[in-house]
A = this chain, B = another copy of it.
Amino acid sequence: MVTLKQLSKELGVSISTVSKALSDSFEISERTKKKVLALARKYNYRPNNVAVNLRAKSTKTIGVIIPNIFNHFYTKILSGIEQEAKRNNYKVIVSISNETVSSEKEGISFFSNGSVDGILLAPSEETEKLGNYKHISALHQKEIPFVLFDRYSEKLNSDKVIINDFDSAKKTVKYLINKGREEIVVVSLIKHLSVGELRKKGAFDASKKITLLEFEKEEELEEAFLKLIKRKRIDAVLALDELSGIITLNIARTVAFKIPEELTIISFSQGVLSEYSYPKLSTINQHAKEIGENSVQLLLTRLKNKEASYKTRIIKTALEIHQT
């Protein structure tokens, strides 16, 4: 990589002259500017980013800590983050926590050395399970701005972008009841996530007579659901996560339920899974991309004004009914 020094030497002018010429400063004569620009182009000069960062005391980089990159929902968020960051001339560094506290801590420490201007973070499942957020709130002491997305805790005081989980679960159950469904089952494999809790509460807020099947392992849910439908007639399922939705769908099909005539299945989701399921699942779309975009916006706002009060942005979900 060519440096200002090399250019200045070859041109027989000072480093600062070259620097100013390249930033089109009014101090420099047109003749010199032209010469400098020509040589810079010839060598394809690009200011060394690291040096610029050191000087500017900013990196134009956002660190993202994401729980799981195999989850389409998070992938979509990441894509939204990347786009919005690029639009604002920021780079994105990614660290994947794999839903573990240890990797999450690693990621935070990885970013806590001036590598990034700020952090976007969705706490891992383990973090939520343990309810210990100290390593995250420690960012406040380090004066590293951060924004939580998707998952959050009352214990953490920060900017955040979340989904109206409670409301959308509640609305969906009401929708089912309106459609004349009477035996509603809520299935979930995300017991330990804050969002799972909120969705569950929302559903029960709409109706007390819901059957709840909530498990940690896929097989447990499969077994329980199979048992349930053999025992009693049900006519609607609300899945609090996509995997539960797909599993339920596949089982319902093995026992020859007509979908959606006899059984409506609606699932919180964002996924390819539901998109290419057969028949296509009805979903509660979580507008993941917007979550990503909004997180970046909130962080950039924070970077501009570190003293402002914390903001929460709530991204609305949309019920998408297929195959009705």
Contacts of A250 in B (CB 8 A): 276, 278
Please tell me if the beta carbons of A69 and B59 are within 8 angstroms of each other in the complex: no
Cα A75 to Cα B79 in complex, Å, equals 12
How far, in whole Å, are A106 and B80 apart by their CA atoms in the complex?
17
A5 within 8 A of B: no
- Quick check: A93 and B92 within 8 Å, CB to CB? yes
A82: chain B residues within 8 A (beta carbon) = 69, 94-96
> A271 — which chain B residues lie within 8 A by C-beta?
272
In the complex the two chains form, is B114's CB within 8 Å of A50's CB? yes
Contacting pair A46 B273 (CB below 8 A): no
A253 at the A/B interface (Cβ < 8 Å)?
A: yes
**Distance, CA A44 to CA B82, complexed state (A):** 30
Is there contact, CB below 8 Å, between B46 and A50? no
Contact, CB under 8 Å: B86 / A115: no
Question: Does chain B have a CB within 8 A of A76?
Answer: yes
Cross-chain contact B278 with A46 (CB below 8 angstroms): no
Interface centre among A53, A54, A75, A276 (most CB of B within 10 A): A276
The answer on a CB contact under 8 Å between B114 and A1 is yes
Q: A1-B142, A44-B142, A278-B250 are in contact. Are A70 and B272 (CB under 8 A)?
A: yes
User: Please, which residue of chain B has its CB at the minimum distance from the CB of A45?
Assistant: B113
Q: List, sorted by A's number, 9 A–B pairs whose CB atoms are closer than 8 Å.
A: A1-B142, A1-B143, A44-B141, A50-B53, A51-B54, A70-B72, A70-B272, A82-B96, A86-B110
Q: Which residues from chain A sit less than 8 Å from chain B, CB to CB?
A: 1, 44, 46-51, 53-54, 59, 61, 69-70, 72, 75-76, 78-79, 82, 86, 91-96, 106, 109-110, 112-115, 141-143, 243, 246, 250, 253, 271-273, 276-278
- A48 B114 Cβ-Cβ under 8 A: yes
User: Are A50 and B54 CB-contacts (below 8 A) given A1-B142, A93-B92?
Assistant: yes
Complex contact A70–B76 (CB within 8 A): yes
Additional pairs, 19, CB under 8 Å, beyond known A46-B112, A70-B72:
A1-B113, A1-B142, A1-B143, A46-B109, A46-B113, A48-B113, A48-B114, A50-B50, A50-B59, A50-B114, A54-B54, A61-B93, A69-B78, A69-B79, A70-B75, A91-B93, A93-B93, A94-B94, A246-B276
Q: Is the CB of A276 within 8 A of B273?
A: yes
Residue numbers in B under 8 Å from A110 (CB-CB):
86, 91
Partner pick for A70 among B79, B86, B115, B253, CB 8 A cutoff:
B79
Contact A115 B273 (CB under 8 A): no
